Amino acid sequence: MNIKKKSTIIKKRKILSCQKGLLLWFTGLQGAGKSTLAHRLEIELHNKGYLTTIINENNLKNLGLTTEFNTENIKKIGEIAKLFVDREIITISTFISPYKNDREKIRNLFKNSDFMEIYVKCSFEILKSREEKGLFKKINTNEFYNFSARYEEPVNPEITLNTSILTIEECLKILLIYLEKKGVE
């Protein structure tokens, strides 16, 4: 397909969907609050009239991919996210995605303005207390601690949400203000 035809299709998609696609890549330890915040954000965006999708561990499983700790699996998720973003859907992913390089590769698939890394940060003490209360689905205690030790913190994420000290509502507000500045209002 020639470049002119391709750019016409891209413009038409934008007009048809009346919105611009973005990828909100949530990363953070197990139980930090990625899924909780993603679902709340999705509801807020729906109320504002935006079309969204969440990609999570269920999609990973359905694709026959077993773990989000595998570089190749994260790459595939990034490619799937790009399909959605290119079709102007606000896409939210909720994978621990522990490795910095894997996340950087995903960032490189997108234009700067289309990708946001959101670090959902949480202290070990709070995670432990959430785990004891059964507040999130864990694999097993040993794996949980092994995985946590291997997590590489984002160096320069677009947003950091420290859920040890911020409430869900406060985190949500930060996300919505950030998105408003990007024209999602």
Ligand X SMILES: Nc1ncnc2c1ncn2[C@@H]1O[C@H](COP(=O)(O)OP(=O)(O)OP(=O)(O)O)[C@@H](O)[C@H]1O
Given 35, 73, 97, 163, the residue binding Mg ion (CB under 5 A): 35
Q: Is 114 exposed, middle or buried (0-12, 13-18, 19+ CB in 10 A)?
A: middle
Interface with Mg ion, residue 91, by CB under 5 A: no
**Mask 164-183, x = binds ligand X (CB under 6 A)?**
--xxx--x------------
CA pseudo-torsion sign 97, 34, 160, 30: negative
Tokens standing for 88?
């102007």
Q: How far is the CB of 132 from ligand X (least distance, A)?
A: 12
Interface with ligand X, residue 63, by CB under 6 A: no
Which residues are catalytically annotated? 97
**Mask 65-104, x = binds ligand X (CB under 6 A)?**
-----------------------------x-x--------
Residue nearest to Mg ion (CB): 35
For residues 49 and 31, what is the distance between their CA atoms, to the nearest angstrom? 29
- 50 CB-near residues (< 8 Å, 6+ apart): 19, 90, 184
